[in-house]
Amino acid sequence: MSHRVATAVAHGFLDQIPDEYVTAEAMLKRDSRGRTALHWATSNQGSEIPSEFLAPELLLLQSENGATPFEEVVKNGSMRALDPRDFTGEYYAQD
């Protein structure tokens, strides 16, 4: 089933995830310093993201109406926002 998720590209190790692990499912994660950043998850042919790219408290961002804005997730208290300067790219929706 196709769905849209809100994603952003963050500085650091998140942008080093190999392309073969990046799929349409994007997740919001809290890193070891308590910051939040978006993390990709994969369901590609049973592959898994290597453990060094994982962190606890993953939250799938999806909505019946399309993309779930990152700001809405932060506003409802699910996660704490990063400074926008921590992001290298614009927020975008991906099928």
User: Do 50 and 20 form a contact (C-beta atoms < 8 A)?
Assistant: no
- Whether the full predicted model's pTM is greater than 0.85, yes or no, is no
Q: Tokens representing 59?
A: 């939250």
Note the pLDDT tens digit of each residue in 8-23: 333 334 444 555 554 4
- % of the chain residues with pLDDT over 70: 0
Query: Is the pLDDT at 72 greater than 50, yes or no?
Result: yes
Range of weakest confidence among 4-8, 41-45, 66-70: 4-8
User: Do 11 and 33 form a contact (C-beta atoms < 8 A)?
Assistant: no
Residue closest to 9 by CA, chosen among 38, 31, 30: 38
User: Do 40 and 10 form a contact (C-beta atoms < 8 A)?
Assistant: no
